[in-house]
Structure 1
């Protein structure tokens, strides 16, 4: 439970950091706003054509009597809309980070710098980082699509499909969201996708504490645009926890002995 609270705490700290650094916050909204316009148009079109898509996909139900035809296709329409939202939340962050990669990279570095100590650098060129980001975004899209198909199918299970499955889908969404947002700070530390997943899975509650409330907020129109800079900042702070950078270094044996000697003489 402590990790769950800590994850939420990093989200709040990130938003406070962005609020204190208005220039970063302002510029950080631009890539998110550009992406949001495209996604909003796509979602409106999808929802407008939902009934036609469902009717096309279920020709076998054309001859069903009322009310079963309406109930069946209505349930499928809800599942289809939920799947579209699931895909939108996950891929929105990936596309926004890709569009604004150079800026969010600088923002993450600024957060590390404000916390003190050296700023980790990957040693890769901007183009190399963009290529890795694109490659990982495609890999993420494939994984998200597979999960979406699975949850869509499980949604047909009576009772469970309308209660347990949506909750599981939301938790998976939250984990993916955390994975995406931490990618910038972890890539600068030389941590690629496979190792990143391992690190986040080892602290699942920390990941969910950060990702679940953010996923809820991202469902509200325009909120994702305003929260994205703070989300990147909070993810950087979370990464510092994952890698142990915020831990106090243990005193060396010599320092301990010197401290004990000083205490002895002062007494």
Structure 2
């Protein structure tokens, strides 16, 4: 594993963010990788879009429900707190949606993303210590790890949701905290495939990424921000998976520069 380089945490953060466009570039140069990554992402995208549309349709009612304590307030203050509640609900839904979308997409697309990650690693030298894991066992591990990370996202998301009610702080500081938390969890989630390929579980992932926290945060925050864009999570999922393979190699001290083996 590697530690923060001489350029400091800011440079490491930017290098981590650059892994996403690098991963996307690898996929764009190989249509096979792009198509493999888009299939499960499109399926998940359709389901999540339906859920988002439903949530937005009922947003005014939901805002009134969570601000029941303001029913007796004056109209001006009641309307203000309901607007803030609506903003907080959208922010909370965005955080949970991005994280659960990634987990759900990785689960249904496990064979596809295993292939993408494997081809990327082959390009830069392969995996000398690869561990063969049956697909059913890999899927079971992914399910358990994903449920743990979703639980963590909800655990962090609830206080962020509450803080979202605070004027100014809820619309400035909280989104930044949400991006940092969401970015970290996405980095942990997306590196699951390359770490499982080496026989390493969730605890190993977290330990390795903590050693390279600015790098991991840079990648995760970039993914989080792009996934918030319309269709971003669908179109960029292949690049995120490829970038996560590069991130895993970086934190494990493996080469990610000159191609060494085979085409990607």
Equivalent residue for 2:22, pick from 6, 13, 29: 13
- Which residue in the other structure is 1:22 paired with? 31
State the shift of 1:220 in Å.
Answer: 1.4
Q: Deviations over 1:59-83 (max 9, x none)?
A: 3322222111101111111101110
Answer yes or no: is 1:242 the counterpart of 2:238: no
Q: Deviations over 1:197-255 (max 9, x none)?
A: 1211221110121122222211111122221111111111111111112299xxxxxxx
Contact 2:40 2:105 in 1 (8 A): yes
Answer yes or no: is 1:114 the counterpart of 2:112: no
Change (3 A) 1:58 1:164: closer
Answer yes or no: is 1:181 the counterpart of 2:193: no
Change (3 A) 1:146 1:118: closer
Alignment of 1:29-40 (within 5 A): 29-40=38-49
Equivalent residue for 2:95, pick from 70, 86, 96: 86
- Which residue in the other structure is 1:66 paired with? 75
Contact 1:55 1:73 in 2 (8 A): yes
Q: How many equivalent residue pairs?
A: 248
Contact 1:113 1:119 in 2 (8 A): no
RMSD (Å), alpha carbons:
1.7
Q: Which runs of 5+ in 2 are unaligned?
A: 1-9, 258-264
Contact 1:112 1:119 in 2 (8 A): no
State the shift of 1:5 in Å.
Answer: 2.3
Change (3 A) 1:10 1:154: same
State the shift of 1:118 in Å.
Answer: 4.1
State the shift of 1:167 in Å.
Answer: 0.7
State the shift of 1:121 in Å.
Answer: 2.9
Cα distance in 2 between the residues matched to 1:236 and 1:187? 11
- Which residue in the other structure is 1:50 paired with? 59
Equivalent residue for 2:132, pick from 123, 130, 133: 123
Answer yes or no: is 1:41 the counterpart of 2:41: no
Q: Please give the TM-score of this superposition, normalised by the length of structure 2.
A: 0.88
Change (3 A) 1:146 1:31: same
Change (3 A) 1:118 1:157: closer
Q: Secondary structure at the match of 2:191?
A: helix
- Which residue in the other structure is 1:257 paired with? none
- Which residue in the other structure is 2:261 paired with? none
Q: Which runs of 5+ in 1 are unaligned?
A: 249-267
Bigger radius of gyration: 1
Change (3 A) 1:120 1:230: farther
Cα distance in 2 between the residues matched to 1:60 and 1:227? 41
State the shift of 1:120 in Å.
Answer: 4.6
Contact 2:117 2:241 in 1 (8 A): yes
Cα distance in 2 between the residues matched to 1:219 and 1:20? 25
Cα distance in 2 between the residues matched to 1:172 and 1:138? 16
